[in-house]
Amino acid sequence: MAAKLTGKRVAFLATDGVEEVEYTQPREAIENAGAEVELVSLEAGSIQAFNHLDKSKTYQVDTVVSAADPDRYDALVLPGGVANPDFLRADPDAVSFVRSFFTAGKPVGAICHGPWTMIDADVVRGRTVTSWPSLRTDLTNAGATWVDEEVHVDNGLVTSRKPDDLPAFCAKVVEEIGEGRH
């Protein structure tokens, strides 16, 4: 599996409040498959990760979303955490960045609360997705069909519900990135 994603570049869009394991485990899986990963965020410096509601480590930002060029990336991952996607969805540059991956047909992975940002990017209408259960109403109101599944793939969009789903999520994200544009 080590060379499956060689030559691919993947953006992780996250900010303060990101659920640590939903950032670190997919990043590790994608890097282990050979891709280059960059942390894109709202501001330069570092972001504060959380383990549920407790502060954990900080992670260095590689690129600020207002200056990020979506064409430089082959795929996007949106980790969860309650605060992280709520901050992202309020930022026009972050919303535009997310939308651009869907417009280009590039693979996107979103876990737990991560799909919140996709609602504001208006990219879930007509798609089938899963998420943390409390997002069900938001996603269905935005035009998505919500399912309670460990992992769901809809035309290059990989979604999962929670940290327990990470093994399945990571495997499917790597697979979809390997397949490329949809």
Residues involved in catalysis: 112-113
Q: Identify the CA nearest to 52 among candidates 166, 163, 167.
A: 163
Q: Where are the alpha helices (DSSP H) in the chain?
A: 20-32, 83-89, 92-103, 115-120, 136-141, 166-179
Taking the C-alpha atoms of residue 112 and residue 96, their distance in angstroms, rounded to an integer, is 21
Taking the C-alpha atoms of residue 14 and residue 5, their distance in angstroms, rounded to an integer, is 22
Q: Identify the CA nearest to 33 among candidates 7, 2, 9, 11.
A: 2
Taking the C-alpha atoms of residue 124 and residue 71, their distance in angstroms, rounded to an integer, is 21
